[in-house]
């Protein structure tokens, strides 16, 4: 039964065309390769969930009651400890952290959770994860792009997204650039939310959090960082992420999320606490990605590509100075599927994003097909 008054149509009109649907014909071409497809398009983990994390999830499987939105004390302890240890932040308490049901949920709903609407503006990088725009659209807010965050138009701006390391380009903002952005945001009274989900995956640069004292001097007002365990711990299927930063902002979000029932599942809370306390599996996963990155980069450069940025994250940002769909079609003919740069903004029209998230065997197959 259709929704009254064409509500479904109105909601769909708020949203852009789902980009990945446009890749299906090329996926079919790549799948027709005699040796099968090598899918380097979507950055979804393919390696095992660490055994200690699986054990923690299993041990907490008998969880018949509702979990809390704020999470268990054990989870909050783990979040606080990780933020202080890994991000270098100081003075972090339970009020400075908040669990999420995956980071994409937060990105898509944050403007609405903050009460933004018509007349408010949300800004994000010119080359960016498409969900920043989706979040603004779902809230009925205006959206705009910037080349450098401190050059954004402050008129009506309520929320400024950072993304370092960047998806798709892998660009890393230095501590000095982040510090300049924090000063700009505070001058213009704009909430600064930093998507740092790839922070553990720096290759040619060391990513810095917006919460690091070199960036914010230990003052977290107006600053929120987004983190995820999808890539560092292969927990994309667990939907495990969290916020850290301004306790006033997080307190407001906590109330909204309580009313909305946005609760991380109890077994996932237990698994997350264990994952954050272990560094060995993170180092092991980094080494896997480092080897795949080296192999794919060499093969792509040998095939005529130029790699730009890509100093961090799970992707290579590659171009042959031709329209991205021509590149996608050519690689699909070799059974290799990549993401067209156009998905991330018009400025990416001559680039493709190549994910490192394929098995060693599939990466070796791609390298061979490209002449490596």
Residues 242-271 have pLDDT tens digits of 999 999 999 999 999 999 999 999 999 999
- Alpha-carbon separation of residue 37 from 170, 234, 358 (angstroms): 25, 22, 11
Tell me how far apart the alpha carbons of residues 125 and 118 are, in angstroms, rounded to a whole number: 21
Tell me, what CATH number does 35's domain have? 3.90.1150.10
How high is the pLDDT of residue 7? 56
Note whether 297 and 234 are same-domain residues: no
Same domain, 154 and 195: yes
Asked whether the predicted pLDDT for residue 11 surpasses 70, the reply is: no
Contacts of 110 (CB under 8 A, 6+ apart): 135, 159, 193
- Per-residue pLDDT reduced to its tens digit, 90-134: 999 999 999 999 999 999 999 999 999 999 999 999 999 999 999
Which pLDDT does position 1 carry in this prediction?
43
CA 224 – CA 121 distance, rounded (Å): 18
Instruction: Examine the domain organization and report whether 151 and 269 are in the same domain.
Output: yes
Q: Do 44 and 118 belong to one domain?
A: no
Residues 6+ apart with CB under 8 A from 28: none
Range of the structural domain that residue 35 is part of: 4-48+281-369
For the range 32-38, what are the long-range contacts, defined as Cβ-Cβ under 8 Å and sequence gap of 24 or more?
32/335, 33/334, 33/335, 33/369, 34/335, 35/335, 35/365, 35/369, 36/335, 36/365, 37/335, 37/336, 37/337, 38/335, 38/336, 38/337, 38/358, 38/362, 38/363, 38/365, 38/366, 38/369
Do 83 and 159 lie in one domain? The reply is yes
Residues in the chain: 372
CATH of the domain at 177: 3.40.640.10
- Residue % of the chain over a pLDDT of 70: 96
Do 252 and 300 lie in one domain? The reply is no
Our count of domains for the chain comes to 2
Three-state SS at 242: strand
- Spatial distance between the Cα atoms of 296 and 198, rounded to a whole number of angstroms: 19
Phi, psi for residue 303 in degrees, rounded to 5 = -90, 5
- From 276, 303, 329, the end of a domain falls on 276
Instruction: Return the sign of the alpha-carbon dihedral for residues 289, 294, 299, 305.
Output: positive
Confidence of residue 6 (pLDDT cuts 50, 70, 90): low
| 123 and 249 within one domain | yes
With bands split at pLDDT 50, 70 and 90, how would you rate the model's confidence at 18?
confident
Does residue 71 share a domain with residue 190?
yes
pLDDT at 13 over 90: no
pLDDT tens-digit map of 205-241: 999 999 999 999 999 999 999 999 999 999 999 999 9
pLDDT at 30 over 50: yes
What is the tens place of the pLDDT at every residue in 31-52?
A: 999 999 999 999 999 999 999 9
Indicate the residue among 228, 257, 276 that finishes a domain: 276
Same domain, yes or no, for 114 and 203? yes
Q: Which of 276, 310, 333 is the last residue of a domain?
A: 276
Indicate whether 187 pLDDT > 80: yes
Residue 111 sits in the same domain as residue 207: yes
Percent of the chain at pLDDT > 90 equals: 94
């Amino acid at each position: 039964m259709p929704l009254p008054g064409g509500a479904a149509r109105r909601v769909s009109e708020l949203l852009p065309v789902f980009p990945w649907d446009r890749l299906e014909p090329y996926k079919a071409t790549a799948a027709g390769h005699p040796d099968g497809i090598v899918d380097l398009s979507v950055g979804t983990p393919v390696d095992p969930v660490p055994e200690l994390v699986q054990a923690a999830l299993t041990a907490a499987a008998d969880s018949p009651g509702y979990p809390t939105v704020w999470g268990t004390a054990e989870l909050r302890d783990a979040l606080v400890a990780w933020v202080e240890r890994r991000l270098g932040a100081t003075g972090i308490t339970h009020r400075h952290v908040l669990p999420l049901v995956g980071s994409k949920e937060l990105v898509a709903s944050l403007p609405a959770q903050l009460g933004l609407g018509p007349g408010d503006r949300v800004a994000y990088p010119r080359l960016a994860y498409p969900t920043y725009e989706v979040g603004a659209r779902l809230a009925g807010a205006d959206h705009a792009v910037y080349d450098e965050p401190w050059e954004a138009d402050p008129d009506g701006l309520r929320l400024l997204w950072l993304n370092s390391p960047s998806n798709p380009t892998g660009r890393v903002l230095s501590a000095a650039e982040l510090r300049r952005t924090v000063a700009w945001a505070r001058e213009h009274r704009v909430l600064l939310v930093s998507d740092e989900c790839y922070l553990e995956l720096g290759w040619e640069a060391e990513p810095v959090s917006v919460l690091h004292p070199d960036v914010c001097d230990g003052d977290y007002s107006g600053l929120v960082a987004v983190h995820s365990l999808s890539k560092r711990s292969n927990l994309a299927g667990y939907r495990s992420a969290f916020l850290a930063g301004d306790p006033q902002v997080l307190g407001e979000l906590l109330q909204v999320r309580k009313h909305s029932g946005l609760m991380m599942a109890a077994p996932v809370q237990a698994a997350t606490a264990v994952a954050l306390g272990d560094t060995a599996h993170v180092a092991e996963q980094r080494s896997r990605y480092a080897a795949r990155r080296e192999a794919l980069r060499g093969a792509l450069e040998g095939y005529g590509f130029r790699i730009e940025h890509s100093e961090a994250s799970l992707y290579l940002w590659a171009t042959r100075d031709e329209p991205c769909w021509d590149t996608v079609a050519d690689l699909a003919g070799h059974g290799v599927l990549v993401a067209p740069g156009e998905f991330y903004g018009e400025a990416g029209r001559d680039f493709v994003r190549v994910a490192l998230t394929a098995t060693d065997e599939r990466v070796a197959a791609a390298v061979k097909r490209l002449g490596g």
